[in-house]
Each structure stands twice: as structure tokens, then as C-alpha cells.
Amino acid sequence: MGGYILFAFYRKYADRVKGLVLADTRAQADTEEGKERHFQMAQTAYKKGPSAIAEIMIPNLLSPVTIQTRPEIVRNVRAMIEGNHISGIAGGLDGDGRTT
């Protein structure tokens, strides 16, 4: 999501940006299915909070072996996700502004 956020920031505040570093991001925009998936995740964030997003995301971020054998890593990732404000999670997921 970092690339999407960076481009959104650049579109709004280009005069404040001297350079961009894009690493491990995609050049193309989301498909309609991808946009809908992000929108639904943003809605989940608003309705159920950061813990629900953690439940959805942890299996995508960590391998099954890590989840089973490294509970400290799972706790750290969960804490990082749950430490975010709902508006930040939803705003990062919904780049086309449909949640507002």
C-alpha cells in the first residue's frame, strides 16, 4: 500500500516532494476486483476496528510455519496493525476515496 499512499501524497503535495523512492511496489493501478477488495477491507476497518484487519492480514503477511512456531512475531505484527488508527487503515486501503 505504500506506493499508493506515496502517489496520493505526491498528487496532492507535489511541491513538497524533492524525490521518490519506490521499492517493491506495482506500477499499474488496481483492477476493479482489487479496488473492491480494498474498499471492503476499509469498511471492515470502520465497522470492526484494527483487530479485525489484523486477523485478515496476518495469514497474508506471515507463513503458516511462522504463525505456528513464532508467537512473538505474530504478537509484534498484530501490535503494529492494531496500533494504527482506523482512519489511517481505511484511508490507506481505499485510494479512490469511497469510504468518506
- In the DSSP assignment, the letter for residue 16 is G
Q: What is the pLDDT of residues 20-48, one digit of tens each?
A: 888 877 767 778 998 898 899 999 999 99
**Spans of the chain, pLDDT less than 70:** 1, 27, 94-100
Q: Which three cell numbers stand for residue 31?
A: 483492477
Decide if 53 contacts 41 (C-beta within 8 A): yes
Decide if 46 contacts 99 (C-beta within 8 A): yes
Residue whose C-alpha cell is 484494527: 50
Q: What is the pLDDT of residue 77?
A: 97
Q: What is the pLDDT of residue 99?
A: 42
Decide if 9 contacts 24 (C-beta within 8 A): no
Q: What is the pLDDT of residue 4?
A: 75
